[in-house]
Amino acid sequence: MSYFIHADLDAFYASVEQLDHPEFKNKPVIVGGLPGDRRSVVSTASYEAREYGVHSAMPLVQAVKLCPDGIYVRGNMNRYREKSAEVMAVFSDYTPVFQQLSVDEAFLDITGTEKLFGPPETLAREIKKTIFDKTGLTVSTGLASNKYVAKIASGMSKPDGLFVIPPGDEEKFMMSLPTDKIWGAGKKTRELFAKHGLKTCADIHRLSPEILRSLFGKALGIFLYRAVRGQAAEDFENKQENRSMSAERTFPYDLHDEFEIETHLFSIASEVFFRLLQTNLQSRTIIVKIRYGEDFSTEGGRETFQNPLQTLNEYYDQLLALFHKKYQAGRGIRLLGTGVANLEPKSNIMQTELFDSVTEKEKILEKSILAINSKYPKAALKRGRLLEPCPKGL
DNA sequence: TCTGGGGTCCTAGGACCC
DNA sequence: TCTGGGGTCCTAGGACCC
């Protein structure tokens, strides 16, 4: 028999803030921005703040209206990652087979640990206690025979709970749930459920695979068929990683000025390229993303090349060309983004042959400049080329 | 309400080749 | 002439997750 725990930290960012600032304890803490920040969104609300109706993804201005006396902070990802690492280290003390899903949740495969740690439920309680003792954070947990059901169970144990689904009860448990508990069916799919009068998982359970496929499409249809039977565990078993890398920025006021637009494009591209350099990956595809202010519409563009990108100069050249191909000149820009895709492990085979020594020197120089820029971000914003080609004969 | 940022996967259609 | 089918690669947009 297999056993999985899904563990999910409660109101993670807000809890870390309360931990680091004891005066925030038992107060409504909202992470995501300061009152007055335009176009921000709530990232995490403490349970005290949720009493006011504040929740994740809510526009910050609305949160301020609901909870004017809340404690607002922009947040500090580095600190949250640090705390996350402490938690993950505890998990790995109990099982080597654990899968981190995001900064605040993980699956633990505890199959076969009974001799060491006792029955699964006992172990789940011990893990919760250890996390709290060592990090001061509370964690919601679900225990089941597969990951999917464990994930749903942990969601129902919030906050600071443990929800156990005994082996054999997976299908019965799923059937008892309303459709909005299905992990993997979001807003649009729930609208479809409503349209077809599907209120509970049992309603979906009655539909044949063929009907599900015709209503929801191939992949989603099959997924739903399995999900309501408590069998959808393999769906995220082999999630591919490192397929793309991107950065984007929403501006408090729409951009119109070309110089400003290009400056931001360069700055965002530098950030992506620097992150790419810190991996052993390379990319042949660049992506641009533009969101217009007036109607919130978003457009993308992408281009794939024969050979992997070598330098930031090259990346920025191509990006700028692609941007101007897609941009509807004159419209105000709310968001700019760029990224690289088709990531693959770096191969050094062709490089020395295909690329001349100028490119090699350029790469080395760029690398050190980007490293300096990341250390002193104030000095980093610089439009145009990082390095101009050396004029001939000088 | 006026809608972040960083990801993954799916769908549909076009281009191209055999 | 007036048009198959499979495979692969690519693009654009969208759904979803945390």
Percent of chain A past pLDDT 70, that is, above it, reads 90
Q: A314-355, pLDDT tens digit by residue?
A: 999 999 999 999 999 999 999 999 999 999 999 765 554 455
Q: Measured in angstroms, what separates residue A333's CA from nucleotide B2's C1'?
A: 16
Q: A249-308, pLDDT tens digit by residue?
A: 999 999 999 999 999 999 999 999 999 999 999 999 999 999 999 999 999 999 999 999
Percent of chain A past pLDDT 90, that is, above it, reads 84
Spatial distance between the Cα atoms of A122 and A210, rounded to a whole number of angstroms: 42
**Strand C proximal to A299 Cβ, under 7 A:** yes
Q: For residue A364, what pLDDT is reported?
A: 79
Contacts of A152 (CB under 8 A, 6+ apart): A142, A173, A174, A177, A181, A183
pTM (2 decimals)? 0.92
Q: Measured in angstroms, what separates residue A257's CA from nucleotide C18's C1'?
A: 34
Spatial distance between the Cα atoms of A272 and A244, rounded to a whole number of angstroms: 10
**Strand C proximal to A104 Cβ, under 7 A:** yes
Q: Measured in angstroms, what separates residue A92's CA from nucleotide C18's C1'?
A: 21
Range A353-360 average pLDDT: 65
Contacts of A391 (CB under 8 A, 6+ apart): none
Nucleotides of C under 7 A from a protein CB: 9-18
Q: A214-264, pLDDT tens digit by residue?
A: 999 999 999 999 999 999 766 656 677 889 999 999 999 999 999 999 999
Beta bridge partners of A350: none
Q: Is A52 a residue whose pLDDT tops 80?
A: yes
Catalytic residue set of A: 105
Residues A326, A330, A332, CA angle at the centre, nearest 5°? 90
Query: CB–CB of A106/A97 below 8 Å?
Result: no
DSSP three-state, residue A175: helix
| CB-count burial class (<10 Å; 0-12, 13-18, 19+) for A158 | middle
Instruction: Please give residues of chain A from 182 to 221 whose alpha-adjacent beta carbon (CB) lies under 7 Å from any atom of strand C.
Output: 182-190
In degrees to the nearest 10, what's the CA dihedral of A375, A378, A383, A386?
-20
Contacts of A234 (CB under 8 A, 6+ apart): none
Q: Is A390 a residue whose pLDDT tops 80?
A: no
Spatial distance between the Cα atoms of A302 and A340, rounded to a whole number of angstroms: 9
Q: For residue A322, what pLDDT is reported?
A: 97
Spatial distance between the Cα atoms of A229 and A158, rounded to a whole number of angstroms: 23
A384 pLDDT band, cuts 50/70/90, is low
Say which residue, A309 or A391, is predicted with more confidence. A309
Query: CB–CB of A131/A87 below 8 Å?
Result: yes
A356 pLDDT band, cuts 50/70/90, is low
Spatial distance between the Cα atoms of A140 and A160, rounded to a whole number of angstroms: 5
Spatial distance between the Cα atoms of A158 and A8, rounded to a whole number of angstroms: 9
Residue A166 phi/psi, 5-degree rounding, is: -65, 145
Lowest mean pLDDT among A31-40, A100-109, A117-126, A373-382: A373-382
Range A160-187 average pLDDT: 97
Range A147-156 average pLDDT: 97
pLDDT mean across residues, chain A: 92
Spatial distance between the Cα atoms of A33 and A72, rounded to a whole number of angstroms: 6
Which residue in the block uniquely carries the two structure tokens 């995490």?
A44
Q: For residue A391, what pLDDT is reported?
A: 54
Catalogue the long-range contacts made by A376-383 (C-beta closer than 8 Å, 24 or more residues apart): A380/A267, A380/A270, A381/A263, A381/A267, A382/A266, A383/A259, A383/A262, A383/A263, A383/A266
Q: Is A389 a residue whose pLDDT tops 70?
A: no
By C-alpha distance, which of A260, A259, A257, A289 is closest to A272?
A289
The two tokens of residue A102 are 């995001």
Lowest mean pLDDT among A117-121, A242-246, A378-382: A378-382
**What is the DSSP code string of A115-144?**
HHH-SHHHHHHHHHHHHHHHHS--EEEEEE
